[in-house]
Structure 1
């Protein structure tokens, strides 16, 4: 993994709110953590996670109850996640909102990985923290993990009017020496320490809870901005850069590996080597990109199969039909019919 991890500058919106609520000197705290308050006005800014951790720890140490992490969960503003927060707000269901966290998690941070595991009765949203290569030190301290979880839960409760109750909170770190009543008070569920994973567990019925300000049209516009924003956050991510180049070229036909390498100012050989090191190849990325786009286009009833075939860069609709059956086991016609029936 990278030697330095980062998080979005949007945190500063909520951090300054929380510090003011606690009566802390905002400028002094930010200065001591080597963070510039002006960064809150720069949505493209990334804050070094070590500096972010210092700030959380510094604020926590200045409070008698050492509960700054959950105060953040009560002070949040959707703008802290920038367009991701607003996109979550306009999602149709909580399931759609959580999927956005997983898909666009690097906008929040590259220091952990979010995953959703849906069971028959319950759902787990887990947070797997990265480690620094040379030292194996966790990229996120306990206070930072608590802060991320508190903000996600606080935001979720705001989306469904505080009806979101957790079944359990599992934390991978050991029980801290200081009092943890603040965690119990905020999360209001059974809490276990020293677990294999850090995750929140909740009733599956919440997944399909309709959100109060759901707006499909606005949400679609937000996703377009999200993709552009993510492309800037992930300049270092080769797989994402390749996908971005494929998106731009597909309507003119599937771009070759040589064309993509040229657009990225790389030799084809170097591109192949780097992808091999990541355990993938260009053909696989092209296939997955086409599949993902196809699933999106198939839900847009106004698009004909001929139009979808063109948008995916296939030379004719027959090639699209064969590819779609390979992906799903169904013809496009059968798949769309099943989709229409499930929506009625």
Structure 2
């Protein structure tokens, strides 16, 4: 399993997941995207670009704008609860297709860097109920209002994810928050639908442990293996690919099946194609080598984890026909796709 080295708060390695509900809410309240993104270094173009990556510092800059633009008018808890599993891309599909909810939880914690972490999460099973404990990230200092915001927001996201994985029958048994009750706290009860304690020692969401052993609504072994392998590759690149090669790798993996040319990738990265080529060479690679590596990782996954035909794989990877795919695979591995698939 890939382990993640320390990631600074300014490193732009995260997708835009955490910002989707906020920008949608602000737009519904006649607040422009330019106002929502002011001072963050994120543009309106980035919001519609699946290849854009941002830092934790940029995320909290948008959160600060949200607090400033909607004082007392919006609930972070409700916003988090509006989050959709599909907003998390490959990561979300892996949660949904896990064998059990416990497996989904273990996956979520292992690959949490793919979900733009804004808090520290721990699942505590030492008591009668399972409990999500939500704490501040030790390396990411926030002001008091922001700390409260992210804990509420994450609480809503956790509830939404559980309901997406287990169905609307999922219920919390109780919740506690490490801050005082706000004026008009009725929305806490309407969203969480359980007993709530404020001024508690920690922020926690508790639920019956038996939920952990149930099958998610979309449990599917092959789908899970496919998206887990992709998430593993993405996590490896977060760990070791911080340069331009890592940026390209993440872009290609985030939109598997769509392989941009060097010129198209240069546009996405805001560089001239000659500059991009020089940067890639300086890191000891070539653009074609990066594309081939991504295609090989995906092809080897399809061959070993699925019954997909050569024709289907070649189409998925952008080859003109199955023969072209077979020749490329033989060049990469010195094995035919059939021989590779038969390996123990």
When normalised by structure 2's length, the TM-score is: 0.59
- What's 2:172 paired with? 166
Residue 36 of structure 2 is matched in structure 1 by 29
User: Aligned equivalents of 2:42 and 2:201: distance in 1?
Assistant: 33
Q: Deviations over 1:121-170 (max 9, x none)?
A: 4101222322348x797896211221122112112112222111111222
1:184 aligns with 2:192: no
Q: Which runs of 5+ in 2 are unaligned?
A: 1-5, 243-282, 284-304, 306-344
Q: How do residues 211-226 of structure 1 correspond to structure 2 at under 5 angstroms?
A: 211-226=216-231
Whole-Å Cα distance in 2 between the matches of residues 32 and 178 of structure 1? 30
State the shift of 1:85 in Å. 0.8
Residue 33 of structure 1: CA displacement?
4.3
Which 5+ residue runs of structure 1 have no aligned equivalent?
238-264, 266-299, 301-344
Asked if residue 102 in structure 1 is aligned to residue 109 in structure 2, the reply is yes
Q: Aligned in 2, Cα 1:132/1:155: closer, same or farther, shift over 3 Å?
A: closer
Contact in 2 for aligned 1:91/1:215 (Cα 8 Å): yes
Per the alignment, do residues 48 and 201 of structure 1 end up closer, same or farther by CA in structure 2, a change over 3 Å counting?
Answer: same
Aligned residues: 237
Distance 1:169 1:75, change over 3 A: same
Q: How far does residue 225 in structure 1 lie from its aligned partner after superposition? A: 0.4
Normalising by structure 1, report the TM-score: 0.59
Q: Distance in 2 between matches of 1:5 and 1:192?
A: 35
Structure 1 residues 126 and 235 mapped into 2: Cα distance closer, same or farther (>3 Å)?
farther
Q: Secondary structure at the match of 2:130?
A: strand
Could you say what the CA RMSD is over the residues aligned between the two structures, in angstroms? Answer: 3.3
Indicate whether 1:70 and 2:77 are aligned. yes
Deviation at 1:227, TM superposition (A): 0.4
1:1-344 matches, cutoff 5 A: 4=9, 8-31=15-38, 33-41=40-48, 45-63=52-70, 65-119=72-126, 121-132=128-139, 141-172=147-178, 174-175=179-180, 177-235=182-240
C-alpha distance in 2, partners of 1:177/1:202?
Answer: 24
**TM superposition shift of 1:111:** 4.5
The 8 Å contact of residues 111 and 139 in structure 1, kept in 2 or not, is answered as: no
Is contact 1:127-1:197 (8 Å) kept?
Answer: yes
Once residues 67 and 142 of structure 2 are traced to their aligned partners in structure 1, the CA distance between those partners, rounded to angstroms, is 25
Q: Deviations over 1:22-69 (max 9, x none)?
A: 443233212354422333455564433333223224324444643341
